[in-house]
Amino acid sequence: MSKLGKIFLWIALVGVLASVGAGVKLNLQYKDTQTNLANESAAKAAALSDAAKQKALAEKTALALAESEQSLKSEKAKSAQLDTDLAAAKQKADEAQKAADQAVADGKKAADDLKAINDKLQGKTIDEIVAARAKAEADFASAQAEQKILTDQVQEAQAKVKQLMADINASKVPYIPPGVSGKVTFVNHTWNFVVIDVGLSNGVVPNGQLIVYRKNNFLGKVKVTTADANSAVADILPDAKGDIQVGDYVLN
């Protein structure tokens, strides 16, 4: 073989050796990669498993917490109800005690009343007491009836006296001194009364009567109802014969 051929042969051999070396290296890298991938997959699976376990644990913990909170809430409600029931029971106990105390007091009062009744009976029977009470009530009713009769008689007598006094007073005409004279200053024909310009200072008094005239004509009479110092109000009596006007004269 020539020297050049040997050179090419060595070059080819080196190339083959390099290719084999590169293949071995690639094969080793592939195996390392496969190993790393397997390790990563295992780590990932382990991580997923741990995550699932943690999630399950968290859910279990949350459920337990919810159940604990519900249980606590229920216990609080039961405690509140027990407090309410206890307060109600205490109130009933207090009311029962008050009722018992009142019963004791009522019993003592009943015993005292019974003793007082027995003391008042002084050996008398109930029938005797009832009969005595019935007689007393009958006597009282009779006395009331008699009192009513006498009261009615007194009221009737007083009414007669009052009527007689009224008749006597009505039959009397109050005295008005002679010579009283004045004028009519106002006339109300609707209510049939007049106002005159003489009064108490002139001797005019309530229920006194004055005649009314115009010039020489008699018009009628008026009866004084109220009077003050210098004027009076008088009703026109039904037997008036003329139309009384302002300016007409009055005279006693």
Q: What three-state secondary structure class fits 243?
A: coil
Contacts of 244 (CB under 8 A, 6+ apart): 184, 187, 194, 212, 219, 220, 222, 236
The mean per-residue pLDDT over the stretch 7-26 comes to: 71
One-letter amino acid at 49 equals S
Query: Tens of pLDDT along 62-106?
Result: 775 677 578 557 667 766 786 787 777 678 767 768 776 786 777
What pLDDT is attached to residue 1? 62
Query: Tens of pLDDT along 162-199?
Result: 777 666 656 556 778 888 999 999 999 999 999 999 99
Query: Tens of pLDDT along 96-118?
Result: 687 767 867 776 786 677 777 76
Cα–Cα distances (Å) from 243 to 156, 216, 247, in that order, read: 44, 14, 12
